Amino acid sequence: MRQRTFAMLKPDAVKRRLTGKILSRFEERGIKIIAAKTLMISEELAKTHYGEHSEKPFFNDLVSYITSGPVFAMVLESDDVIAQVRKMVGATNPKEADVGTIRGDYAIDLGRNVIHASDSEESAVREIGLFFDESEFCDYELPDEDIIYE
């Protein structure tokens, strides 16, 4: 079933010039980029985006970190993309993330774990809506879609 998710490279990834490498992983797998942009997040957007963590002791650090530099936000589409992207991202703590996952390959610190990805259909819809306007979506067919999908 074709599905969309939200993913965002955190400031450590953008500053470390990992955007292209990480994006390539999604592209090479056959995942479609529907929208993407580099932006600075406002404090308000950061607090809303991470609202589920507002009572956690690390909330303030999380908000100040994610607003400290540019992020690269994207909407990705494929079959089962929410679960598949989470799997490619790896465990929250990079020290526990499998080698071969984005966090397992590019990160070491829990607070600098290079990427965010929606964890459910509900959060995907919510987060896509927070970062993107419908007019920013590109609806197109990949020329090799019939090779990637049965």
Among 102, 116, 124, 128, binds ligand IDP (CB under 6 A): 116
| Residues 104, 97 contacting (CB under 8 angstroms) | yes
Q: Which stretch binds Mg ion (CB under 5 A): 2-10, 19-27, 105-113, 114-122?
A: 114-122
CB of 25 or CB of 30, closer to ligand IDP: 25
- ∠ CA 38-10-12 to the nearest 5 degrees? 110
Under rule CB under 5 A, how many of the chain's residues touch Mg ion? 1
Enter the DSSP assignment of 145: H
Among 41, 63, 113, 114, binds ligand IDP (CB under 6 A): 113
The pattern of x and - marking residues 37 through 76 that bind ligand IDP according to CB under 6 A reads: ----------------x----x---x--------------
Of 84, 96, 90, which is closest to residue 114 (Cα–Cα)? 90
Residue 97 has, within 13 A of its CA and on its CB side, a CA count of 24
CB of 30 or CB of 123, closer to ligand IDP: 123
- ∠ CA 28-76-91 to the nearest 5 degrees? 80
- Site for ligand IDP contains 92 (CB under 6 A): yes
